[in-house]
Structure 1
Amino acid sequence: MSMILNIFRGRCPHCEKGRIFEKLGNPFLFQMPKMKQKCDVCGHSFEREPGFFFGAMFVSYAVAVPQMVVLLLACKALGLENIPIIIIVIIAFILLSTTNFRLSRTIWMYIFRNV
């Protein structure tokens, strides 16, 4: 259970104490999250090799699709029409983009933390 909490908190996969991201990003100001190169606590390098986070795109997709499906079903349950639903889903996707970016990279690092 602590591993799941550490993923959501953005903690180092090696020591589980240091923070992975310097800046969390802000979708309203069009700022993406900024990762640290190494953990401040244990010195663990977050990017193992060039292109390491390429696979995190697939994790991001796996995180975003269920979010959008749940939102779509909630809007349908409220009886909204299709055009407002599409607008709501697009706005939610944009607002959750920085959170999904951080979450997908953190999950990707935790998948390969013992490799």
Structure 2
Amino acid sequence: MVKIAGVIKGKCPNCKKGDIFETKGNIFLLQMPKMHKRCSVCNLKYEKETGFFFGAMFVSYALAVAEMVASLVIFWSFMDMAPLQVFMIVAFIAILTSTFNFRISRAIWIYLFN
């Protein structure tokens, strides 16, 4: 349970105190989250090697697909909306959650390999 809270809060997997990200990013201002190179508390290096976060793209993809399928089911099945309206809503949700998925997927990836 502590690991799940650490992933959601974006805390260091080693000490659970330092922040992984400098900024949270803002999709409306077209800003992606910025990561610290090392933990400010325990000095853990987050990127183990070049290309370490390549695998986090797959985690981000899985999160995005889950969000899109859930919104598809909610808006098409339960709300009984037209397919074009559902498509627009799903696309909007995917764009809106992109920075969140970026942060969470990298945090999950760091926690998996620490």
> Paired residue for 1:43?
43
SS of aligned partner of 2:55: helix
Distance in 1 separating the partners of 2:81 and 2:2? 39
Counterpart in the other structure of 2:24: 24
Give the total of aligned pairs: 113
Q: TM-score, structure 1 length as denominator?
A: 0.96
Q: Distance in 1 between matches of 2:11 and 2:63?
A: 18
How far 1:64 sits from its partner (Å)?
A: 1.1
Aligned twin of 1:12:
12
Instruction: Give the distance between the partners of 2:63 and 2:89, measured in 1 at CA.
Output: 18
Give CA-to-partner distance per residue, 1:28-67, whole Å, 9 cap, x none: 0000000000001100000010000000001111111111
One-letter code of the match for 1:111?
A: L
- Partner residue in 2 for 1:92: 93
Per the normalisation by structure 2, the TM-score is 0.97
User: Which amino acid in structure 1 is aligned with residue 31 of structure 2?
Assistant: Q
Matched, 1:63 2:68: no
Which consecutive aligned stretches of 4+ in structure 1 deviate over 3 angstroms post-superposition? Answer: none
Match of 1:3 in 2: 3
User: What is the distance in 1 between the residues matched to 2:81 and 2:36?
Assistant: 42
- Percent identity between the two aligned chains: 50
* Residue of structure 2 equivalent to 1:53: 53
Other-structure match for 1:74:
74
Unaligned runs of 5+ in 2: none
Counterpart AA for 2:7: I
Match of 2:105 in 1: 104
Please, which runs of 5 or more residues in structure 1 have no aligned partner?
A: none
In structure 1, what residue type is equivalent to 2:20?
A: I
SS in 1 for 2:22: strand
RMSD: 0.6
SS of alignment partner, residue 37 of structure 2: coil
